[in-house]
Chains A and B, each alone.
Chain A
Amino acid sequence: GENVEQHPSTLSVQEGDSAVIKCTYSDSASNYFPWYKQELGKRPQLIIDIRSNVGEKKDQRIAVTLNKTAKHFSLHITETQPEDSAVYFCAASKKGGSEKLVFGKGTKLTVNP
């Protein structure tokens, strides 16, 4: 089955710096890659996703890149702010068949003022 590896497990940056979180997946049939953000004590929420027919997607300060050949995708956050502090999860799933998501183990991002 699919296996998603996520690195680093913790990341600390200064406010205004950029943060990058990387994930690799094992199943070449996976073609949907979402990123969820979970603030302390709250539920995970989708922040951005990318499908395999696209190499990059941006939404204001966040972007996701996908390299299908290498089977890895990354989340980029620019101009980080304290409210970006949270746990971020990457995930992968296949089209058609089941919609189950396989999640990475998460990255705890701390943005220091």
Chain B
Amino acid sequence: DVKVTQSSRYLVKRTGEKVFLECVQDMDHENMFWYRQDPGLGLRLIYFSYDVKMKEKGDIPEGYSVSREKKERFSLILESASTNQTSMYLCASSFFWTSGRNEQFFGPGTRLTVL
């Protein structure tokens, strides 16, 4: 059974703080993703990684950075949190396309509130 876990379900931070969101998967997936989910806007890709130390920008990377030092772990970093980053953050992972299996498995999400 695939498990994608996220470090926190709820997080409250203050404007200007540095915030770390962590995601861990246990299925040896090559790909990992960070999305943010806002009402009426669907799921928007922030960053993704297809290998250790590799990363690519998604559609809304501004204000975020990522780190992937180990295959199973993908971190999202808000260098200086702002109120417009209040959102639900979802991590996901999947096998590489060439495996023929492209399902993305999602974590439970982290509800981040920036005051």
A→B interface (CB under 8 Å): 1, 6, 9, 32, 34, 42-46, 49, 89, 93, 95-96, 98-106
Contact = CB atoms under 8 A, between A and B. Distances in A.
B96 A104 contact: no
Contacts of B108: 42-43
Contacts of B59: 1, 102
Nearest to B38: A105
B74 interface: no
7 contacts: A32-B102, A34-B102, A34-B104, A43-B106, A45-B106, A105-B40, A105-B41
B107 A43 contact: yes
Contacts of B104: 34, 46, 101
A93 B48 CA distance: 14
Interface string B83-102: 00000001000101100001
Contact of B48 (A1, A44, A100, A103): A100
Interface of B: 31, 33, 40-45, 48, 50, 56, 58-59, 90, 94, 96-97, 102-104, 106-109
Given A9-B40, A103-B42, A103-B44, 16 more contacts: A34-B103, A34-B104, A43-B90, A43-B106, A43-B108, A44-B90, A95-B97, A99-B97, A99-B102, A100-B48, A100-B56, A101-B104, A102-B45, A104-B42, A105-B40, A105-B42
A46 B94 CA distance: 12
Nearest to A106: B42
Nearest to B97: A99
Contacts of A101: 45, 104
Nearest to A42: B108
Nearest to B6: A43
In the A-B complex, list the 6 residue pairs whose CB atoms are closest, starting with the nearest: A105-B42, A43-B106, A103-B43, A46-B103, A103-B42, A106-B42
A17 to B, nearest CB: 25
